[in-house]
Amino acid sequence: MHVTHASDAPAGPTIDFDAFLAVDIRVGTVLSAEPFPEARKPALKLTIDFGPVIGTKRSSAQITEHYRAEDLIGRQIAAVVNFPPRQIGKFLSEVLTLGFTDEAGAVVLFRPDLTVPNGSRLF
């Protein structure tokens, strides 16, 4: 039996460069991470520093398969910072933390391989 993975999906429709630029993806450093037991799917609550312009934002991330809260402190991650906030239970998730799924469907975080200034924009 063949299991469908996100890697099996075809490329999305062609868009122009302005549509790409409308999605504001920035890098930030995780300041704190804690379990989110109230979430329907296992998740962590992250507080992320996106630098002086965007500031500190919070995110709920379903990343518990590969990451422990204490190991994320000080790690840079990428997130979409211009989606509207999303209420998840009593927690307001302000940014969408980005990742890819592995073969088993667990999330692997998207991050720069070298340290860059917090708030740097993906282009």
Length of the chain measured in residues: 123
The strand pair at 86-88 and 91-93 is best described as antiparallel
How many domains is the chain partitioned into structurally? 1
**Distance separating alpha carbons of residues 43 and 59, to the nearest angstrom:** 10
Q: Are 61 and 28 in contact (CB under 8 A)?
A: no
Provide the CATH number for the domain around residue 100.
2.40.50.140
Quick check: is 121 in a domain? no
Quick check: is 16 in a domain? no
Quick check: is 40 in a domain? yes
Could you read off the pLDDT tens digit of each residue along the chain, which spans 123 residues? 444 567 788 999 999 999 999 999 999 999 999 999 888 899 999 999 999 999 999 999 999 999 999 999 999 999 999 999 999 989 999 999 999 999 999 999 999 999 999 999 998
Quick check: is 114 in a domain? no
Looking at residue 35, the DSSP 8-state letter turns out to be E
Quick check: is 91 in a domain? yes
The pLDDT score that the predictor gives to residue 3 is 47
Q: Are 28 and 49 in contact (CB under 8 A)?
A: yes
**Distance separating alpha carbons of residues 114 and 101, to the nearest angstrom:** 22
The pLDDT score that the predictor gives to residue 4 is 56
pTM of this structure: 0.90
The strand pair at 96-97 and 86-88 is best described as unpaired
Structure tokens at 93: 């998730």
Quick check: is 37 in a domain? yes
Domain that holds residue 84: 25-109
Quick check: is 80 in a domain? yes
Quick check: is 63 in a domain? yes
